[in-house]
Amino acid sequence: MNTIQSILVLAYPNAGEQDLLIPWELLKAVAWDMAGRGHPIEVVLGSFEGSSEGGTVPTQMGTRVQTEKTISPSDRFDLVYVPGGIGAGVQSLNETLLEFLRAHRAEGRWIAGNCAGMAVLHRAGVLEGLEVTSPATLSRKLPAEGTRVIQPRRAWKIDPQNRVFSSGGAGTVNASTMALVWHLFGDEAGRALAAGWDASPLHGEALFSLLGPVMNDDPVVASGLQDAWEDIFLPAPLTTSASCEEA
């Protein structure tokens, strides 16, 4: 079991509601359970926007989420969880966030992403040399830009050696978070969470694995999704004035 004492679930404008709130709720639940076992965990719903007491962040479908803390670039957490959503594309160009993730990765801390949040991790450069999973919408463009996506895609992939967690689309968020809890906090905590949330009868032993189930992509459907969404989730990097002058 890894020693995890602090977790940031990152809120940002236009994050997907379930991508953001399901991991936060499950991690808060396990924190409550672990506190009873004498292992307190701080789980923070935080954003780089707002006052020192936090702020209100609009999500993808219009829900306004009240965060618990405004994050500073110098803050550190044992695990940073980046959710997906339409707003991930903007965040993939947010140099403050990208540098924040690079610093955590350089210090050997856990980095996690689900769905389009994988675009943010990719642009931060924290996936270099690794094999990860991703949503279908990004499984073409990420390899084209140098990040290896496991084929066939998996619902999640936990890389203990490099301390990187990757997850597929929004449909994988519940199960993949439980798998992450199982790895980070041990078999007893993982199984208790899965039982309490009625996930064990549905997913069974597949929940308790570093590598999630195979995602059975239809090539035609996947291609259509990529055509529609990959440039939204992973827009081209901003061109600096210097590079424009050189060109």
The enclosing domain of 93 has a CATH number of 3.40.50.880
Contact yes or no for 41/34 (Cβ under 8 A) = yes
**Percent of the chain's residues with pLDDT above 70:** 94
Establish if 1 belongs to a structural domain. Answer: no
Q: How many helices (H) and strands (E) does the chain have?
A: 10, 11
Establish if 148 belongs to a structural domain. Answer: yes
DSSP track, 8-60? EEE--TT--HHHHHHHHHHHHHHHHHHHHTT---EEEEEESSSBTTB-EEE-T
Q: How many domains does the chain have?
A: 1
* 3 pLDDT tier (thresholds 50, 70, 90): confident
Establish if 170 belongs to a structural domain. Answer: yes
Of 18-22, 67-71, 217-221, 239-243, the least confident: 239-243
Establish if 100 belongs to a structural domain. Answer: yes
Amino acid at residue number 122: H
Average confidence score pLDDT of the chain:
93
How far is it, in rounded angstroms, from Cα 101 to Cα 198? Answer: 33
Amino acid at residue number 128: E
Q: How many CB atoms lie within 10 A of CB 181?
A: 26
As a whole number, mean pLDDT of residues 23-47 equals 94
Contact yes or no for 94/118 (Cβ under 8 A) = no
As a whole number, mean pLDDT of residues 131-148 equals 98
Given this model, what pLDDT does residue 245 score? 43
Q: What size, in residues, is the chain?
A: 247
What is the residue range of 218's domain? 6-246
Establish if 190 belongs to a structural domain. Answer: yes
* 52 pLDDT tier (thresholds 50, 70, 90): low
Pick the closest to residue 19 from 183, 132, 120, 167 (CA basis): 167
Q: Is the dihedral of CA 41, 45, 49, 50 positive or negative?
A: negative
Quick check: 244 pLDDT over 50? no
The predicted-structure confidence for 141-183, as pLDDT tens digits, reads as follows: 999 999 999 999 999 999 999 999 999 999 999 999 999 999 9
Q: What is the CA radius of gyration of the chain?
A: 17
